[in-house]
Structure formats: structure tokens, C-alpha cells
Amino acid sequence: MILTCDDVAHIAKLAQLELSEAELMLYPDQLTAILEYAAWLQTLDTNSAAPTLPPGSVLREDTLHVGLARETTLANAPAIEDGYFIAPPTR
């Protein structure tokens, strides 16, 4: 997949990034190289590769536990409305 400057501009818009014209000209080649490398990695046979971590060494079972009460959670919130946090809108 070869990315164009328009593709980079679209990705930047989705990521809410402001790119200069120089960056819009620079990034298509770099992002294309990254995508090509990721595609190449997908073709590798990893079935015979040993796991990097022993099973069970990092993961744990999900357990249900009681969380904080709503009042406790909202106690230090700068703004609350109808029992919910109020946050500034994203653009």
C-alpha cells in the first residue's frame, strides 16, 4: 500500500494533528515503509518460535470486586452534572 499526501492529511485529521506542508510531503514515504514492514512481519511463520513469557507469569484470572461508590468517585471532580463528570468537549 502506497500512501499519498492526501492519505497522510486524512490520517492527521483523524488523529487531530496539525501537519505543515513539509511534513505532509515527508510522511507518505515513511508511513508507507512502516506499513510495508508490518505486512512483511505478517508473512513470517512464528509457529515454531518459543513464547517470550512463560504461561501464567503475567496474566491473572479476572475477578469481580466491588468498586468505589459513585459519591466517592465524584468527590474530587471539578464539575459534576446529574451524577456524571463534566469534561470539556473534544474538537
- How far apart (Å, rounded) are the C-alpha atoms in residues 89 and 91? 6
pTM for the model stands at: 0.54
How confident is the prediction for the chain on average, in pLDDT? 90
pLDDT at residue 43 in the model = 95
- How far apart (Å, rounded) are the C-alpha atoms in residues 66 and 30? 47
pLDDT at residue 56 in the model = 64
For the cut 90, the answer to whether the pLDDT of residue 3 exceeds it is yes
End-to-end CA distance of the chain: 30
Residue-wise pLDDT for 31-58, tens only, equals 999 999 999 999 999 999 887 877 666 6
- How far apart (Å, rounded) are the C-alpha atoms in residues 67 and 74? 13
Ramachandran class of 5: left when φ > 0, alpha when ψ lies in -120 to 50, beta otherwise: alpha
Average pLDDT of 1-18? 94
The amino acid present at 71, given as its one-letter code, is E
